[in-house]
Amino acid sequence: MTPDIRVKICGLGTDATLEAALEAGADWIGLVHFAKSPRHLDLARAGALSRRAKGRAGRVLLLVDPDDALVAAAVERVEPDLIQLHGRESPERVAAIRHLAGRPVWKALGVAARADLGAVAAYRRVADRLLLDAKAPPGADLPGGNGRAFDWDILRGADLPEGTMLSGGLTPETVAEAVRRTGLSAVDVSSGVEVRPGEKDPARIRAFLAALRPGP
Among the listed residues 49, 107, 103, the one whose alpha carbon sits nearest the alpha carbon of residue 72:
103
Angstrom distance (rounded) from CA 105 to CA 180: 27
- Exposure string (b/e) for 13-34, b if CB count within 10 Å is 16 or more? beeebbbbbbebebbbbbbbbb
Among the listed residues 99, 97, 100, the one whose alpha carbon sits nearest the alpha carbon of residue 89:
97
Active-site pick, 4, 27, 68, 133: 133
Residue 133 annotated as catalytic: yes
Contact status, residue 74 vs residue 80, Cβ threshold 8 Å: yes
Residue 65 annotated as catalytic: no
Neighbours of 140 (CB within 10 A): 13
Active-site pick, 10, 42, 128, 188: 10
Give the catalytic positions in this structure: 10, 133
